[in-house]
Structure 1
Amino acid sequence: MASSRTTDRTTIRTVAADAGVSVAAVSKVLRNAYGVSDELRARVETSIARLGYRPRAAARAMRGQTDTIGVLLADIRNPFFSDIMDGVHSALERTKYQSLVGISQSALSIELALVDAMTDRPMDGLILVAPRMVAADVTVTALRSPTVLIGHHEPQATLFDTVNDNDRLGAQLVVEHLVATGRSDIAFLSLEIDDPINALVTSQREIGYRAAMAENGLSAHVDIVRAGQSSRETQAAARRMLKSGERPEAIFCWTDFVALEVLSVARELGLSVPEDVAVVGYDNTSYCDLAQNDLTSVDQSGHTLGLQAARLLIERIKGRISPEHFVVTPRLVARGSSRPRT
């Protein structure tokens, strides 16, 4: 018999007729219900394969599952998010789950709308990467769907899991490295955002930066510059810092994406890196290794963050309710952008 791949016309009734069983029996196999014999399962799965049948997402949702998870990213320009998605996909490749991605463009209103859409679909769970939501919105989301957050420090949370780098330690590593290269006037180019509970990575890195500067007797040199999300705002802030009569000896950037902008502005102004100013990023993305960048950065293993977030989410979906808060230990990767001045 010639096989049929016309999945649009193939229904559960078609599968039942092909296998010579009842619709209820096919439904039990699809639901992995208790009491299904190996013989029945084999007959139904053979027919499913022969007919190319795929249960509709809406039908699976009615049974309480869609085999999809939502991943919310702040934007698609930051190369670090690609590393995170690689980790998520590595964790999912041997499971039944597929990911659907939403991009919030770092706008809270879009973020909330996407989360509502993902929970209304419904999806089986959510991974929120660097969310901008306030604590109350995160709690509401976690009550509606199993949730894991990346880039959100709230170790006392019980309704959701978190996966983070030790951002305070990462910032301390940067300051210690720059001090070791003979620099003391070290500025931190951070993100302009309201964070009353210090949950965001930028807040944690600011805390680590301040602490390390104090530990090295450099409190008088603390200089935190906060810029908006856009490239225009980042470059404007970098230009002000680099054209200042009190130009810092080093600029520690909260992410590689920002550090690349600083490198660009420095070259535009005819400055030499690292002789005139050292530049350090955070994330250790693949662009750091390019010869024209040669960027010192903190490695927080985005692949590991994504992999662990997906693992924890699947555990949540399967019924775990005890919270877990996974933390990666960062390491600094020194390159030419911060070598000692000659």
Structure 2
Amino acid sequence: MAQKNGETRSGRITIREVAEDAGVSVAAVSKVLRDAYGVSDALRAKVRASMDKLGYRPLAAARGMRGQTYTIGLVLPDIRNPFFADIMVGVNNALERTQYRSMIGISQGSAQGELAIVEAMIDRQMDGIILIGSTEDRANLDVIAAKKPLVTIGHHDPEADHFDTVNNNDQQGGLLAVRHLVAAGYNNIAMISLRSGTSTILAERELGYRRGMVEAGLGNQINIQQIPQTLREVQIAARRLLQGPNRPDAIFCWTDFIALEVISVATELGLRIPEDIGMVGYDNTMFCDFAQNSLSSIDQSGELLGLQATRLLIERIKGRTEAEHFVVPPRLVVRRSTSRQKSA
């Protein structure tokens, strides 16, 4: 009976068989696997070609015993938000020419769930961890960073010394949203935010919204609605806001995922966008471009965030200890949802 590619009688291709096929020593193959310093491109290409030909896959457990598994853990708060897919594209692009592979955990926005996933990743000897949208404080993040190289995306802490941060300038993003709405002729502008007392990105976006309102002379109309991120709660809050006695003429939502649901509720209530209600989201995900949405949004370059976070994590795995804090400037992408012009 023919054997499957990548298997021997014992079930796996060995490093010795790769060496024999490539015509090099076992030590040379080991150096390629470890991405050791001084390995020539020619040797690396020869060994990689033999690995591909034979279907060789390093045993993760064995590599872990030698000190490295070439796996990194990504912890996401929610799999439904399309913005996280943009981050994943950046992560995968950064890993494309490396030996590293990513493993994903979903915390469901729970601090306990996040910690349980992180501990499981540490137990499985992953080489480093990227936390996306973490609500942990610095003390808890320092504990994680003492065990594994750590990078956070969506957590503002520029004074952190033991882990890296990668962020959008969220305060500037909130400010851009309000400035644009005011320039488009809206003056009763509300913000829908997430109910989370420890999220630094929400605090920054809310601060940007407040700054924009005060700057426009609308400080007495500041209206921030903090709601849980569940479909039912979003719908209830949107209906309450849009059917209330002081209905806003524009809404800035903390993420596109929420803004698209608010658009749906407004349409169901017979309100026209942008004539009756202007709408700005955050993230500039692919769904903003769909004709039925045409949602103006703050672009925070999710792919770039993922790319930079992965770069920083691999640098930390390789020994860098000095903290880096990377910030991406936001930009506003204007679409039909805010196309109402200022009256003369």
Q: TM-score, normalised by structure 1?
A: 0.90
The residue number in structure 2 matching 1:214 is 214
Alignment of 1:106-185 (within 5 A): 106-185=109-188
Q: Secondary structure at the match of 1:175?
A: helix
Contact 1:106–1:229 (8 Å) recurs in 2? no
Q: Cα 1:21–1:205, aligned 2, differ >3 Å: closer, same or farther?
A: closer
Contact 2:22–2:47 (8 Å) recurs in 1? yes
In 2, the alpha carbon distance for the partners of 1:315 and 1:339 equals 44
Contact 1:256–1:284 (8 Å) recurs in 2? yes
Alignment of 1:170-209 (within 5 A): 170-195=173-198, 200-209=200-209
Contact 1:190–1:254 (8 Å) recurs in 2? yes
Alignment of 1:49-60 (within 5 A): 51-60=54-63
| 2:343 is aligned with 1:340 | no
In 2, the alpha carbon distance for the partners of 1:213 and 1:106 equals 29
Alignment of 1:1-342 (within 5 A): 5-6=6-7, 8-12=11-15, 27=30, 30-31=33-34, 48=51, 51-195=54-198, 200-340=200-340
Contact 1:3–1:51 (8 Å) recurs in 2? no
In 2, the alpha carbon distance for the partners of 1:47 and 1:331 equals 46
Contact 1:249–1:276 (8 Å) recurs in 2? yes
Distance apart, 1:146 and its partner CA: 0.7
Contact 2:273–2:279 (8 Å) recurs in 1? yes
Contact 1:84–1:304 (8 Å) recurs in 2? yes
Number of residue equivalences: 338
Q: Identify the range of structure 1 (49-58 vs 92-101) with the bigger mean alpha-carbon deviation.
A: 49-58
Q: Cα 1:6–1:155, aligned 2, differ >3 Å: closer, same or farther?
A: same
In 2, the alpha carbon distance for the partners of 1:123 and 1:294 equals 41
Distance apart, 1:49 and its partner CA: 5.2
Q: Secondary structure at the match of 2:264?
A: helix
In 2, the alpha carbon distance for the partners of 1:38 and 1:154 equals 39
Distance apart, 1:330 and its partner CA: 0.7
Q: Identify the range of structure 1 (30-39 vs 116-125) with the bigger mean alpha-carbon deviation.
A: 30-39
In 2, the alpha carbon distance for the partners of 1:209 and 1:176 equals 9
Distance apart, 1:332 and its partner CA: 0.8
In 2, the alpha carbon distance for the partners of 1:292 and 1:105 equals 29
Unpaired stretches in structure 2, ≥5 consecutive residues: none
Q: Secondary structure at the match of 1:136?
A: helix
Q: Secondary structure at the match of 1:217?
A: coil
Distance apart, 1:204 and its partner CA: 0.4
Q: TM-score, normalised by structure 2?
A: 0.90
Contact 2:138–2:160 (8 Å) recurs in 1? no
In 2, the alpha carbon distance for the partners of 1:17 and 1:106 equals 50
Unpaired stretches in structure 1, ≥5 consecutive residues: none
Distance apart, 1:53 and its partner CA: 2.5
Distance apart, 1:26 and its partner CA: 5.7
Q: Percent identity over the alignment?
A: 60
In 2, the alpha carbon distance for the partners of 1:311 and 1:34 equals 18
Q: Secondary structure at the match of 1:72?
A: strand
Q: Cα 1:217–1:37, aligned 2, differ >3 Å: closer, same or farther?
A: closer
In 2, the alpha carbon distance for the partners of 1:216 and 1:19 equals 69
Aligned-partner residue type, residue 66 of structure 2 = R
In 1, the alpha carbon distance for the partners of 2:4 and 2:81 equals 45
Q: Identify the range of structure 1 (25-34 vs 215-224) with the bigger mean alpha-carbon deviation.
A: 25-34
Q: Cα 1:272–1:159, aligned 2, differ >3 Å: closer, same or farther?
A: same
